[in-house]
Amino acid sequence: MNNIWYEQDNDVNVNKNIQAQIEKWLSNYPKDNSGLVISGGIGTGKHTLVKNTIKKLNWKYHMLYLENDKSWDFFANFISGLNEKMILVIYDANLISSPSEKRNIIEFFSQNCQKKLLPIIFLTNLNHSKLITTLSAHDCENIRISLPTENDLFLISKTFIEKYNIKFDSLQTLKDIVNYSQYDIRRLTIILQDLYYTYGHKITRTFLQRYLSISMKKNVEVGLFSANKSLMDRFKSIEESMRFYKS
């Protein structure tokens, strides 16, 4: 789903203290560390939090995704085109596994520490790689995002419930949605969005049970399917295959 409510709404943020830390780090640049490692579990809102904070401070950013092969050519010509307040955000940095990719990152980061070209943010899950450990031990600050609490998820739900005028037949129905989300902000938002577009403004327990039944049938190891498809479509090296294995 390309248009997830949570990613479109800058007001949805249960990590105000984390946002304040990112803002402080950017405000102190280039006096402080050149790098920032932000770690957190899947669905804790790392990507959206960083994107919204950068937007709030009127910076521009380049998001480097591992799945985009051409992104690695980015290092060759990035510095020459740098003429404005720019932040480099490296997504899923924990998946960087090949020696060449690690070498590119470390070399670029070392240059950046010396010349203070731009701030670099590394987004990673809680399974830190040797690369992340190495970066953290040098010129990088570290911020860890905890799993949202039940109260956080209710606050997020309330934002969308009020914005889209969603009604529930009982509080228990909403509690079941929160529980089914497994404390994953993205998953919670997608469930609410799916229910709204499928059943309208009034969500009943019957609708929820029907939705969950269909979802469980469709939930056939999608991650494995996607990885297999990616490997078949664009297999290039053993190193690239190992990224999927380690993820």
Q: What is the pLDDT of residue 136?
A: 79
The tens digit of pLDDT for each residue in 2-47 reads 466 766 655 555 678 898 999 999 988 888 888 999 999 888 888 8
90, β-bridge pairs = 64, 122
CA 135 vs. chain centroid, Å, equals 19
Does residue 70 register a pLDDT over 80? no
The tens digit of pLDDT for each residue in 188-226 reads 999 999 999 999 999 999 999 999 888 876 554 444 555
Q: pLDDT averaged over the chain? A: 80
- CA–CA separation, 210 vs 206, rounded Å? 6
Q: What is the pLDDT of residue 227?
A: 53
- Average pLDDT (47-64) is 87
Domains of the chain, by residue range, sit at 5-145, 148-247
The band of 72, judged by pLDDT with boundaries at 50, 70 and 90, is low
Q: What is the pLDDT of residue 209?
A: 94
How would you class 86 by CB atoms within 10 Å of its CB: exposed for 0-12, middle for 13-18, buried for 19 or more? middle
Phi, psi angle pair for 139, to nearest 5°: -95, 50
- Of 33-47, 141-155, 222-236, minimum mean pLDDT range: 222-236
- Of 47-56, 69-78, 178-187, minimum mean pLDDT range: 69-78
The band of 102, judged by pLDDT with boundaries at 50, 70 and 90, is confident
- Average pLDDT (102-125) is 86
Q: What is the pLDDT of residue 223?
A: 46
In angstroms, the first-to-last Cα distance of the chain is 21
Q: What is the pLDDT of residue 128?
A: 67
Assess contact for 201 and 162: CB atoms under 8 A.
Answer: no
Q: Which of 109, 58, 61 is nearest to 87 (CA)?
A: 61
Q: What is the pLDDT of residue 99?
A: 82
The tens digit of pLDDT for each residue in 160-185 reads 999 999 999 999 999 999 999 998 98
- Of 64-73, 123-132, 144-153, 161-170, minimum mean pLDDT range: 64-73
Q: What is the pLDDT of residue 105?
A: 82
The third-level CATH classification (topology) of the domain covering 5-145 is: Rossmann fold (3.40.50)
